[in-house]
Structure 1
């Protein structure tokens, strides 16, 4: 068994609580679906947001899901690099699996597809 990281990112239009929570949930659900994982497989989830997003803690979206109450979640702010993609939410889901690194399906939604076009599924 290995601990593998699955990356994901998405963007939103407005710094609003409901939009942040909805986008975080959509991204997580897509990562879970594409990788066929369940909360019991997950060791932790790191969530980062760009400095222009401060309406809420995005972990709140995940904490409310059934079966996710014991998954450790951590929120933080990205480094404010000039010219970086604005209003971006990123996830790093660390999962225990027998799959190899190249079998992990990373998820980039909305404008975040520009961050890793080589990993984006159209």
Structure 2
């Protein structure tokens, strides 16, 4: 069965180094919290708010050993006036037998405001 594993993080500045480092931190936390191997991942979508333009956050995944062949796509988040700024979101589609209620979604920095009900 394929399950979605969600995550999000905010950055302080629209700089390439920060985008890559923050995305890598988020991905690593999602991977560790859910014991995800690259072979179990069908695809990964990464969205960014309009103010994140200095780099493709997907580049961070390419820096994680063993994740070179995982399909990843970057896209723009819907621009909502009340939305969180400087935000990077990840949706990882994972083949797993883990129940949906047991998936650990990861929200870091100001992104915890997106889903405070999922904070563990």
Considering the TM-score relative to the shorter chain, is it more than 0.5?
Answer: yes
2: CA distance, partners of 1:79 / 1:95? 24
Question: What is the number of residues matched between the two proteins?
Answer: 120
What per-residue deviation string (whole Å, max 9, x for no partner) do you get for residues 27-58 of structure 1? 00000111011111111110000000000100
What per-residue deviation string (whole Å, max 9, x for no partner) do you get for residues 99-118 of structure 1? 11111100000000011011
1: CA distance, partners of 2:50 / 2:103? 28
- Find the counterpart in structure 1 of residue 81 from structure 2: 82
What per-residue deviation string (whole Å, max 9, x for no partner) do you get for residues 59-115 of structure 1? 011012221111000000111111210000000011001111111100000000011
TM-score normalized by structure 2? 0.97
RMSD: 0.7
Q: What SS class does the counterpart of residue 118 from structure 1 fall into?
A: helix
1: CA distance, partners of 2:119 / 2:20? 22
- Asked whether 1:105 is paired with 2:104, we answer yes
Consecutive aligned runs of 4 or more in structure 1 exceeding 2 Å deviation: none
